[in-house]
Structures are given as structure tokens and as C-alpha cells.
Amino acid sequence: MKKVKIAIILIILAFVIFALVMAFNQWSFKAMFEKDYITNTYEITENFSNIKIMVETTDVEILPSQDSKCKIEIYENAKYPHSAEVISGGLTITQPNKKITNSLFNFENPEITIYLPNSEYKAFLAVLSTGDILIDSSFKFDLIDIDVTTGDVKNYASVNQSLKIEATTGDITLENISAENINLSVSTGDITLKNTLVSNNITLNISTGKADLTNVNCKYLSSKGTTGDIKLNNVIATEAFNIKRTTGDVIFDSSDANEITVDVTTGDVLGTLLTGKNFSVDTTTGKKKVPGTTGGLCKIHTTTGDIIITIK
């Protein structure tokens, strides 16, 4: 009985201490832990041509410098600061201690803002567990390679060669850019391309999510998806479209390619093309309506869904 009383007293004492601490922090869990977070500024004086970011939980922004100097501002835990240094000609940012970002009582989200003095760099490489990435339109890279587990990626920078972005959960947005090749992959999330010029191929892979392309030019467009619609508005491929969906609609709006192949299990294929085609269409359950024109091959198959195409 004595041990039980002692245990009860200790529990009550713990609650009292907890209540006092919470009251001191205005009953905010966040306030209890955000005091450990500060904004550190790292100035980089060495020259570099590549940028590499390897972090766990951090939002990242790439912005132009206003004073021709490279400066990195990081909102971070003072006890576990990031590392920012030039290694073998590359600006490298890492997060030495991963445990702090995964703490049960961590209510803060670190933020990295990189101010770059030049407009062109060779490579931008980033691997994030959780966090958003934004790259300003002021820059041009030879290549961009981004891998995010959970987070959105917004890229407004053009690329001389290849642009590759993979996200497990999150949206990918590209706007007002050019590239040689684009490869985008999302497990759960949407893909948006606007005003994009690609000299070779665009490859889009989506498990669950929509793809929305507007004012896009390329040589070849390939898109595979499990669940979600794909909309092409003024999208032109000089060679071919190859689109596959398990469940979802395929919608063309003033778009075209020399050859078009669409394979959908459940969904409609609708819209307008710009030039006549030699149509080969088949649907198990649904309506078919295509013009009797000639031109490049347009092969469309749906198991359940309508096929309605017109020539603009």
C-alpha cells in the first residue's frame, strides 16, 4: 500500500510539473521546443559548380543572390546544425544528426534558403525524406536530379540536359522551362507541366494522381498511370504519344502527335486533335465516334469507356 501511495504522489507531481511547464509556454507544445531553433547564416566564399543537398526533414528554396555572394540561411535546431561546405567543387549541405528531425516532440520544420550568385550551374542534386523544394526561374542547370519521399517539388529552372524528379507522396510542378529530357515519377500526387519545351522525350509515371500538361512541345511523350486522368492542352509531339491508364480519362485539347497510342482499362478518351489520323479504335463497353480521316496512326483502346475524337 505504501508503494502505491508513493507511485500516486509521483504521478501527481509529474502532472503538476508538466502543467507548470505548459503554463509557462502558454499551453503550447510548439513553444516548448521551438526555442531550440535559430536561423544560422553560412557564407560560402569558395567557387563551386554543383549543388548537392542530402537532408531528412527540411524545406529547400533556391533563390538568386542580391549581393553577388553565396549565402545560405538555415532555420535549424541549434544543437544539431546542418553542414554547408564546398567539397570537390560542389556545394554540399547535409544534416549530420537524423534523430532530431524524427523526434516525437519536434514541432518545427527546418528550412534551407540558398542564395546563389551565378545564373548557371552544372548539377543540382537533392535527396529529401520530408520537405518541399522550390527552384527559382533565375537559374539554369546542366542537369537536375531530385528524390523526395514526402513533399512537393516546384521547379522553374531550365535544364540543358536531363531533368529527373521522383516523389513518393507529393506534387511535381514544372513551368516556363526547357530541357533535353524530362523524367517524372510520382506514387501519390499530381504532375503539372506548363509552357515547357523539351527537345527529346518526356516520361511521366504516376500510380495515383492526375497529369495536367499545357503548352508543351517535345519529340515523344510517354505516360503510364494506375489511377488518375491525364489532360493535354496544346501539347505537340513531333513523333508520338504513348499513354496508358488503368483507371482514368485521357483528354486531348488541341493537341497532336504524328502517331498516337492510348490504352485505357476504365475511362474515356475524349477531345480534339489538330491533324487527320488513320484511326483504329476499340471499346468493349462504350461509344465510339471518330472522323473518317487519313494521316498518322491513332490507335485507341478502352475496355470500359467512350472514345470520342474530333479534328480541329
SS (H, E, C) 19-47: HHHHHHCCCCHHHHHHCCEEEEEEEECCC
H helix count then E strand count, the chain:
2, 25
| Cα gap 162→219, rounded to integer Å | 14
Find out whether 252 and 270 touch, Cβ atoms under 8 Å.
yes
DSSP letters, 285-298, are: ES-EE-----SEEE
Please check the confidence at residue 101 and state whether its pLDDT lies above 60: no
Domain coordinates of the chain in residue numbers? 1-33, 36-133, 171-312
Average pLDDT (95-113) is 64
pLDDT for 103 equals: 46
Residue 28 has pLDDT above 60, yes or no: no
State mean pLDDT over 116-133. Answer: 96
Residue 9: the pLDDT is: 63
Q: What is the pLDDT of residues 175-221, one digit of tens each?
A: 999 999 999 999 999 999 999 999 999 999 999 999 999 999 999 99
Q: What is the pLDDT of residue 291?
A: 94
Average pLDDT of the chain to the nearest whole number: 89
Rounded to whole angstroms, the Cα distance separating 219 from 203 reads: 11
The CATH code that applies to domain 36-133 is 2.160.20.120
Distance in Å from the first CA to the final CA of the chain: 88
What pLDDT sits at residue 290? 96
Instruction: Band the pLDDT of 100: cuts 50, 70, 90.
Output: very low
- Cα 28 to Cα 96, 100, 159, 257: the distances in Å are 28, 19, 45, 57
Task: Give pTM, 2 decimals.
Answer: 0.86
pLDDT value at residue 71: 96
For the cut 50, the answer to whether the pLDDT of residue 286 exceeds it is yes
Average pLDDT over residues 151-180: 98
